[in-house]
Amino acid sequence: MRCFMCCFLPTLLLIGSLLPAAPPATQPAVGQFPHVQVDLKKRQVRIECQSLNPTMPLEFFCVKTGTSEHESVLRTEALPEHIHTALLMLGLQPGAPVHYDPAQDKWIAPHGPPLHIYCETVKDNNPSIAPAGQWMRNVKTKQPAPPFTWVFTGSRLTDNGTYAANLTGYVVSVVNFDLTVIDIPQLASSDNQTLQWEYNPDMVPPTGSPVTMIIEPADAPQPATTQPAE
């Protein structure tokens, strides 16, 4: 884990070789990508994931399989660039990631279209849906996280046309990373001393269990949520 300034220095150095946030270079068939489905009528993106039971405090809610799984609640085989494109298909445009403004001599929080995220599981043919925040709990109090709103900041293309989040694996963050697809709208350091969330064992199924992560614009009708069966 890193201090707030140190956390961003490597990626700040990388920014100079990156283009501004833009739609990914590839545009697969409308409505469906590998491990990703887009429902334009419901304004909903559904992503195939698997649950994780990390022992470390959380820096992410979802990452690409094989990356920072030790500090995330979910992993997915979906490419981050496909998730970015799916959000574009809902009519959303990425905002901007966390960054330092020399003129103001301060860090500027991430911003972009607000999003709600839900987790859907199925047990004995009975689906249950819960807000993603309920799958996290406070490291100290062990109380579930309050309702979360994320923002679509978008990652960016490198100068050779690679979507940066495909390399980092950052899909949904719970602390600030400038190359993540989806971040939180508050300044939050990845310093080990400030991490406040861990996975909630009362809600998250065993590692490897199938989970559908549902992403919606915050102004979309919220799905009915149900508690998982005991």
Average per-residue pLDDT in the chain?
Answer: 85
Is 3 within a domain? Answer: no
Give the domain extent around 147.
31-98+128-230
Higher per-residue confidence, 126 vs 226: 126
Q: What is the model's pLDDT at position 156? A: 84
Q: What is the model's pLDDT at position 147? A: 87
Q: What is the model's pLDDT at position 219? A: 87
Is 211 within a domain? Answer: yes
From the number of C-beta atoms within 10 Å of its C-beta (0-12, 13-18, 19+), residue 182 rates as buried
Q: 14-28, 164-178, 187-201, 213-227: which has the minimum mean pLDDT? A: 14-28
pTM higher than the cut 0.85 = no
Q: How many domains does the chain have?
A: 1
Is 122 within a domain? Answer: no
pLDDT per residue over 68-81, tens digit each?
999 999 999 999 99
Higher per-residue confidence, 98 vs 188: 98
pLDDT per residue over 83-123, tens digit each?
999 999 999 999 999 888 899 989 999 999 999 999 999 98
> Residue 159 pLDDT more than 70?
yes
**Which whole number is the average pLDDT over 124-129?**
90
Is 24 within a domain? Answer: no
Q: What is the model's pLDDT at position 27? A: 41
Q: What is the model's pLDDT at position 223? A: 67
Is 227 within a domain? Answer: yes
Is 15 within a domain? Answer: no
Is 62 within a domain? Answer: yes
> Residue 40 pLDDT more than 90?
yes
Is 51 within a domain? Answer: yes
Q: What is the model's pLDDT at position 100? A: 87
pLDDT per residue over 192-220, tens digit each?
677 899 999 999 999 999 999 999 999 87
